[in-house]
Amino acid sequence: MPAYLKHGSIPRKRHIAHRHEPGFRNEGIYYEEVVTLAGFGRAYSICYHLRPPTRVKKVEPAGTLAIETVDEPALRHHHLRTGRLERAGDPVLDRVALLANDDVILWRCRPAERQRDLYRNAGADEVLFIHQGKGTLHTMFGPLPFRPYDYIVIPRCTTYRIEFDEDRPADLLVIEATGDIRIPPRYLNPDGQLRLGAPYSERDLHGPQGTHVVDREHDTTVLIKDGTRLTRYTLASHPFDVVGWDGMVYPYTFNADDFEPLTGTVHLPPPVQQTFEASGFVLCTFAPRMLDTHPEAIRVPYAHSNVEADEVLYYVRGHFGSRRGVEEASITLHPRGVPHGPHPGTIMASRSMTRTDELAVMIDTIKPLSLTRAALEFDAEDYPYSWLD
């Protein structure tokens, strides 16, 4: 989790009255809400509302966000040219799912509209990778500004509205994780601090900037997603009525350009680029970096067979030294069981290079990923043959 953070007005001790006169119904207090992970066993935050956060006026089914996966007749590499994705719809309801297993769903999103309802994912953490766009994530924890190449990590059950600056069309990769998004434990020292030598530090993780109290006693709808089901809740007041909070559960950003890459004398494997992890997958950042320094080093990755992982790369920016034919917003899926490696010509082309400007996001999953029917629209069918001259 990110470091302990505190904003706004909180009482001296947990679970004591936080005085506020006259308060809702003259009760004279702010209302505590404890947001806790793993039952009551792991990280938590404590928030103080103007009104009880539990006042529900209506619960209605609101459909599903079901995804349709396909049974592929053959095991093969895929190249999804998602740069062709049409701009359409709402930033949470009109995402396009492309790859999925029980642990993770990868969506692309190019919204054309503003977010209609407040939204809350009850069953999964979300990481929004901001390929393009700039704006603010609004939650009860306060405004969280974001910019291009930010990962926005949103813990499950965070009600949010994402707003993009109008002049910056948004383009997102969304990673929906069934398990909690975690900082890799090996990056933390026994005192819980990011180690010296970890590829980022607490200074690179940015939480909400202060509180922003929305004091509105009127019906407010929140769409709650749990699995594929959507439920519309009508609350008696706005849920962003928090005057203060503290804790370690809150949305935060980390910018991919703040990742400190390592370079060896010869090629270092992707775990050195790991950024986050969750049950069933790791997320890595291939950031601009110096290339390997040994005079005889091969400066693109060796061919490899992912014996027990499916490997997804999302190409963000720059020239990707080991690939031909990929473009910005391309996604490749290299499944287990079939080797992949540098494309013909790239070994020679990289020989005199000293650094790479590539930026890419990698997701390696333990369980196999399935393509969705929507993904087939972007699939370059000749990609498995792209290693021939």
Q: How many residues does the chain have?
A: 389
Between residues 159 and 356, which has the closer beta carbon with respect to Fe ion? 356
Least Cβ distance, residue 334 to Fe ion (angstroms): 5
Least Cβ distance, residue 313 to Fe ion (angstroms): 7
Least Cβ distance, residue 124 to Fe ion (angstroms): 26
Residue nearest Fe ion, Cβ-based? 311
Least Cβ distance, residue 340 to Fe ion (angstroms): 6
The answer to whether the peptide bond before residue 269 is cis (omega within 30 degrees of 0) is no
206: left (phi over 0), alpha (psi -120 to 50) or beta: beta
Q: Tell me which residue of 9, 102, 1 sits closest to 50, measured CA to CA.
A: 9
Q: Give the 3-state DSSP-derived string for 20-86, with helices as H, strands as E and coil as C.
A: CCCCHHHCCEEEEEEEECCCCCCCEEEEEECCCCCCEEEEEEEEECCCCECCCCCCCCEEEEHHHCC
Q: Considering only 21-29, 69-77, 305-313, 321-329, which stretch makes contact with Fe ion by CB under 5 A? A: 305-313
Q: Considering only 144-152, 212-220, 287-295, 310-318, which stretch makes contact with Fe ion by CB under 5 A? A: 310-318
Least Cβ distance, residue 388 to Fe ion (angstroms): 18
Structure tokens at 31: 């209302």
Q: Considering only 4-12, 13-21, 206-214, 304-312, which stretch makes contact with Fe ion by CB under 5 A? A: 304-312
What are phi and psi for residue 376, nearest 5 degrees?
-60, -25
Q: How many CA atoms lie within 13 A of 273 on its CB side?
A: 22
Q: Considering only 37-45, 116-124, 246-254, 306-314, which stretch makes contact with Fe ion by CB under 5 A? A: 306-314
Between residues 277 and 310, which has the closer beta carbon with respect to Fe ion? 310
Instruction: Give me the 166-195 binding string for Fe ion, x by CB under 5 A, dash otherwise.
Output: ------------------------------
Structure tokens at 329: 């917003």
Distances (CA, A) of 301 to 208, 297, 350, 385: 38, 10, 11, 19
Between residues 90 and 311, which has the closer beta carbon with respect to Fe ion? 311
Between residues 34 and 303, which has the closer beta carbon with respect to Fe ion? 303
Between residues 277 and 311, which has the closer beta carbon with respect to Fe ion? 311
Least Cβ distance, residue 341 to Fe ion (angstroms): 8
Binding residues for Fe ion, rule: CB under 5 A, are 311
